Amino acid sequence: MTALYHDIIFGPVHSRRLGLSLGVNLLPTESKLCSFDCIYCECGWNAEHPGARRFNAREDVRRLLDETLRRMVAEGTPPDVITFAGNGEPTLHPEFGAVIDDTLRLRDTLCPAARVSVLSNATQLHREEVRAALLRVDNNILKLDSAFDETVRRINHPQNAAYTVRGVVEQMKRFEGHMILQTMFLRGTCDGAPIDNTTEREVAAWLGLVAEIRPRQVMTYSLDRDTPCRTLEKVSREELQAIAARVEALGIPCSVA
């Protein structure tokens, strides 16, 4: 069953990719707000959550994060990472850059060993303040699930009709390697039509974009939680490892989760 995050600060949870992760949700706590509507989103479909579309206030985020970090440090369990995720796309927040600056100051003061990560669908990279903020964090983890516009439209359902893979790739190239690329591999059906981004055509084209973007790392993963489209299938670890080996042949580290 898909579910929302009902708190501004949530967790900590043990992340497959990041370690002990304290989550930060900049999106509404009672509804979802995202520029994608992914068929695998653990928060469900956008239309299932038509409630108030109010971003969490910068000062509330800072205050609650301060309180939580102080408590975790006092208990001897500081987080490995502070992760911006939650009920949608964090970079949509109108004060995203300022929130990142607040977070970096708190991190530096209270738990300097912790990393700050942002999980983003990369739809806001054209906004200079977003790109600059992402360059200030330790891990800016940017999504690209296919090299083909048609496949992205079927997997991610971009809410902006002007979205193109090429446009996103060009924005990613501006990071000059200071980014992590994350890709969800899956197969199955959705709305009665087959979907599979693990075919040789898909993987070969995606590898071409990886070589073009040249991120400092690639993260591959498959389904691990409930999805709004119930007819999707998890890709085996062995298949992911085979894809990862092809990434590493390009000289780029690649993890499998």
Q: Backbone dihedral region of 20: left (phi > 0), alpha (psi from -120 to 50 degrees) or beta? A: beta
Contact (CB, 8 A) for 156 and 171: no
pLDDT computed for residue 3 by the predictor: 84
Q: Dihedral, CA atoms, 53, 58, 59, 61, nearest 10 degrees?
A: 80
pLDDT computed for residue 126 by the predictor: 97
pLDDT computed for residue 52 by the predictor: 62
Q: How far is CA 142 from the centre of its chain?
A: 6
For 167, the token pair is 């446009």
Tell me the C-alpha distance between 247 and 133, whole Å.
27
Q: Greater confidence, 124 or 18?
A: 124
Report whether pLDDT(135) > 70: yes
- Region 49-59: mean pLDDT is 83
Task: Supply the DSSP symbol for 192.
Answer: T
β-strand pairing of 186-190 with 193-196: antiparallel
Q: Where are the domains of the chain?
A: 9-180
Q: Which fold has domain 9-180?
A: TIM Barrel (3.20.20)
pLDDT digits (tens, 9 = 90+) for 62-110: 999 999 999 999 999 999 999 999 999 999 999 999 999 999 999 999 9
In one letter, which amino acid is 239? E
Report whether pLDDT(159) > 90: yes
pLDDT digits (tens, 9 = 90+) for 210-255: 999 999 999 999 999 899 999 999 999 999 999 999 999 999 999 9
For 172, the token pair is 């990613």
Tell me the C-alpha distance between 156 and 40, whole Å.
8
Q: Greater confidence, 59 or 15?
A: 59
> Whole-prediction pTM value?
0.95
